[in-house]
Structure 1
Amino acid sequence: MKKYILALAVISNCTLLMAQTEFDASKFIQSDINGTARYVGMAGAFGALGGDASAIKDNPAGLGVYRTSEISGTFNIGLQNSNAVWSGTTAKDNRTNTTFSNFSYIKASPTFRSMNDESGLLSSNWAFSYNRLKSFNRNSTLRSNSSASSITDYMAYFTGDIPSKDLIYVPNSYEPFDNKNVPWISVLASEGALIGENVNAGKSSWTSILGSNELVAPTYTLQETGYMDEYSVGWSGNFSNIFYLGTTLNIQSIDYTARSRYSETFGAGGGMTLNSTVNTSGTGFNLKLGAIIRPTDMLRLGLSIHTPSIYNLTDNNYSSIDYDTSIRGNLSTPTSDPGYSNYKLNNPWKFNFSGAVVIGQKGLISAEYDYNLNTTAKLYDQDGNAQSFSDENAGIKDMLKDVQTIKIGGEYKMTDNISFRAGFAHSSAATNNSQADKLMRFNTTRTDTEYFQNNKTDYLTAGFGYREASWFIDFAYMNKILDETFYPYNSNSLAVAVRPASVKTTNNNIVVTLGFKF
């Protein structure tokens, strides 16, 4: 006999049921190398150069470099491939995405000065722009032929000493999904007959229904969709063609959805599938300040500071379980009502240091160093109280890492109209993998037990462009490889630890930018 249980999160305004973890926060802390084709073609190493619409989001002082007004837009085609190895079994998945990733209007406003006067404020430029900071779109499939550890073991451990009367639906009398002291994954496991109760001296404990040596064959699929966008208004001044100072006020928007499906086929027959869907959406704002100095015609040096982004976010989560335990017995199940959770996230400070060497009229080499203070990110409840997330905030400090990104790019001008570009970038691990384990709250409504440890991200880019006096078109290619380690659940406290999987996600992006100068 097969059963199907549905659960929709009811967590409005209740701090006891907050379900966010440090892994949720980490998704919205780190942006990506996205933007115009010229910017992408040089791996984003534009902090000290400016003169590019996407460079402004890294260092606002780059807006002051403009001598003419400009309008531009960027289109991106992404080919994503995921390759996972789990206990020797390889699984692959892919996805194609198309995105309008940048639109900018630059207004160059020279100040009125005499013909030979090049001192003081020479121009006061403005920018209005849209940038896609990050795309979450990804499909992943992971598969293992055999595992001695089962999620039913985790469910039994997580249920602890909750008595069965708190987990079983009683028509017209008791709904376990309404009990704020009971984790929903335990309700699903109990109602699905995946765990069994043991009572000793009036105290309950739980064990998996599987045999002590019974193996399982797990499969996991993930579909992620969504984006992190930024809308900005910026100003920058050019002082004597030597010093450039700029700032932007930015509104950021997040819309992220993860649909996961974790299945096990039991060695003695039957199986189960746990489906989890989580959507996070909201807006935030931050301020960016930047400066560029040009001590000589050949050398450029840049510095920028990004203040923490303050987000107001809403989570909606949905869970279901499909199970076949007819050879062992099963129970009837209920359906609950929908709801949501509101909270705040403060993203960390970010510092950007950059330098560039301009080689006459023919080329340039640029480098950039970004430092994200990820461990200073913090979660708050709707009233701005961090105490409600004391465990999660402690986990952010212990389990995440400050991320360092190095970007190197170059451009060679073959003719007055045609330029070629190339670049490389590397981002360090975002998680402290010796300690980064997903710790779910005892009374959480979330059932997405899986987590990814971030090992590193590498980018390799190339591009070319054609420019006339009044218009330009640029093309770029970027190969991005994200290296992660996957765990379907935290097995540190179980008798048998689950084996992790190695996941490499490769994104091949083709970027096209068309712009007009006036």
Structure 2
Amino acid sequence: MKRISTFIMVLACTFASAQTIDDVLRYSTENLQGTARFQAMGGAFGALGGDLSALNINPAGSAVFSFSEIGFTLSNYHRNNDALYGNTISNTTSNSLDFNQAGGVFVFNSSTDSPWKKIALAFNYDLVQNYDNEFIARGNTPVGIDNYFLNFAQGEPLGPLRTQEGEFIEDAYLDIGASLGYSAQQAFLGFQAGIIEPVEDDDANTSYFSNAQYGNVNQRYLQNTSGYNSKFTFNFATQYEDNLYIGASLNFHNVLYDKVTYLDEDGYDIDSPIQFASFDNLLHTEGYGFSFSLGAIAKVNQAIRLGGSYQSPTWYTLTDDTSQRINSNLAVSDIDFINFGIVNLYDEYRIKTPGKYTGSLALVFGKEGLISLDYSYQDMSKAELRPTGDPNFASENDFIGSTLGAVNSFRLGGEYRIEQVSLRAGYRYEESPYANSDFVGDLNGFSAGIGYNFGASRLDLAYSRTEQDTNSYFFDGGIDSAALVNRRNTNIALGYTLKF
């Protein structure tokens, strides 16, 4: 009976806003993988077109195709993370395999003397972000988890933090979150786990102290994320005369994201009432989004091509739910009933990501090869949590506006053809989205690849590697514990295309 009543409570429970700058960055930042050819050339296709993933950079690119074509790409993702925390470096590696791209383009040539030479209709699926990742941080720190609960508890009355006679602890946990909010709910967890205690044993008490005594504590933190942000594109483009290509795309996003974190802590003083503590959190996000893009490519002469495109903001609609669990040697006996099966539901919210502008230049050396350069500009300070009238979102949006800045990114790619064989290489640079790059560093990447043209089909292989330093905070609030993580992502992609 307890499980049934708890499930009903879960469905009825809603929280005040808890979305932060991290949510905005997660869905505003694209790490587009694309076809194997696209990856091998660093994604520098804004003035080239003729590749299904190039539609994400410049939608005019589908009109560059001479023939109808379908293609798909399989990628292996290798993550290598070095986490520095408390003067200790911990290494974590992981792998995942996924079909990250599939699509097709249909080319219709004009049969009249019209200056509109052809039109192209294309559809394409691309993985914008693969969230599969994991890192472990271990170290000795003077900031224990008790500080997290004290931060939320100070000012909260003791009365609601007690379970009432005949009340299940998991029901009390959900009720407090729904009626009093996140801070009171975290205070409840710390109190029921015995990590914090009231200064006075009075329901009106609003001051608390820690049961943990230490100079430093040993912490082990594990963060595992999974999921994806995918984009399905419907594209239309046309060629005017011999030198101008114009196109537009409608983009439909689908989001699934899970983050689970585990924190274990020990190493307290020998006479400390608390001798061990654990605190785990689970976030699950689902949603969808929409954007559009416009672009053009011009042939200045036989060797020079120019491209320009606009990527609109992406409007996301998202829902979150969270679960928690906690334990210690002083926790109440039924603390285990608060677990990942007890779910807090949040109200639906929206995120508007900033628009992006891209300018491109390509040099084409006949059938022998090419060099291409893309430059993109995106002002991340314009990102918004919505509705903007929500007081919690208003303050967080002010923080976003003052903390994030403009992102300039460059992509450089080249291809050299030897009969049926194409040799490729690329470089990618993207500035930190933060005005202060101490939070997240700049991203650097390089790539290489090879392709073989069979005439009616093509097989492509690509290797790409990116590296970036990030300060990964353990919690969204309460304490500022963070690990400096050096992220090295290596992808190997195999793609196949067929002309018809």
TM-score when normalising by structure 2 = 0.90
CA-CA distance at 1:63 after TM superposition: 0.8
| CA distance in 2 between partners of 1:372 and 1:10 (Å) | 39
Amino acid at match of 1:76: S
CA-CA distance at 1:203 after TM superposition: 4.8
Query: Equivalent of 2:175, from 178, 197, 205?
Result: 178
Contact residue 174 and residue 344 of structure 2 kept, 8 A = no
Question: Where does residue 252 of structure 1 map in the other structure?
Answer: 253
Contact residue 8 and residue 339 of structure 1 kept, 8 A = no
Among the aligned pairs, what percent are the same residue? 26
Contact residue 168 and residue 176 of structure 1 kept, 8 A = no
Structure 1 gap segments, 5+ residues each = 1-5, 437-452
SS of equivalent residue, structure 1 residue 39: helix
Between 1 and 2, higher relative CO (CA 8 Å, sep ≥ 6) is seen in: 1
How do residues 92-131 of structure 1 correspond to structure 2 at under 5 angstroms?
92-114=91-113, 120-131=115-126
Determine whether 1:136 maps to 2:131.
yes
Question: Where does residue 354 of structure 1 map in the other structure?
Answer: 360
Query: Equivalent of 1:474, from 444, 460, 481?
Result: 460
Question: Where does residue 45 of structure 1 map in the other structure?
Answer: 44
The structure in which a higher percent of residues are helix is: 2
Bigger CA drift: 172-181 or 16-25? Answer: 172-181
Deviations 1:187-219 (A, max 9, x none): 1111101112124996521222222x5321111
Amino acid at match of 2:208: W
SS of equivalent residue, structure 2 residue 141: coil
Amino acid at match of 2:79: Q
Q: 1:11 to 1:482 in 2, by over 3 A?
A: farther
| CA distance in 1 between partners of 2:16 and 2:42 (Å) | 42
Query: Equivalent of 1:366, from 364, 367, 372?
Result: 372
Amino acid at match of 1:302: G
Question: Where does residue 288 of structure 1 map in the other structure?
Answer: 293
Determine whether 1:375 maps to 2:375.
no
| CA distance in 2 between partners of 1:471 and 1:370 (Å) | 32
Aligned-residue RMSD, C-alpha: 2.5
Task: Count how many residue pairs are aligned between Structure 1 and Structure 2.
Answer: 479
Deviations 1:126-175 (A, max 9, x none): 1011111110110110110x211112112102212112212121133582
Contact residue 324 and residue 338 of structure 2 kept, 8 A = no
Question: Where does residue 447 of structure 1 map in the other structure?
Answer: none
| CA distance in 2 between partners of 1:283 and 1:486 (Å) | 26
How do residues 178-217 of structure 1 correspond to structure 2 at under 5 angstroms?
178-179=175-176, 180-182=179-181, 183=183, 184-199=185-200, 203-211=205-213, 213-217=214-218
Question: Where does residue 3 of structure 2 map in the other structure?
Answer: none
Q: 1:517 to 1:176 in 2, by over 3 A?
A: closer
How do residues 429-508 of structure 1 correspond to structure 2 at under 5 angstroms?
429-433=432-436, 453-489=439-475, 498=481, 500-508=482-490
CA-CA distance at 1:332 after TM superposition: 5.3
Question: Where does residue 82 of structure 1 map in the other structure?
Answer: 81
| CA distance in 2 between partners of 1:433 and 1:31 (Å) | 20
| CA distance in 2 between partners of 1:506 and 1:231 (Å) | 27
Determine whether 1:301 maps to 2:306.
yes
| CA distance in 2 between partners of 1:42 and 1:487 (Å) | 33
TM-score when normalising by structure 1 = 0.87
Determine whether 1:344 maps to 2:350.
yes
| CA distance in 1 between partners of 2:498 and 2:45 (Å) | 20
Q: 1:230 to 1:487 in 2, by over 3 A?
A: closer
Q: 1:17 to 1:9 in 2, by over 3 A?
A: farther
CA-CA distance at 1:266 after TM superposition: 3.4
Contact residue 245 and residue 291 of structure 1 kept, 8 A = yes
Contact residue 32 and residue 126 of structure 2 kept, 8 A = no
| CA distance in 2 between partners of 1:507 and 1:272 (Å) | 33
Determine whether 1:274 maps to 2:256.
no
Amino acid at match of 2:69: E
Determine whether 1:424 maps to 2:443.
no
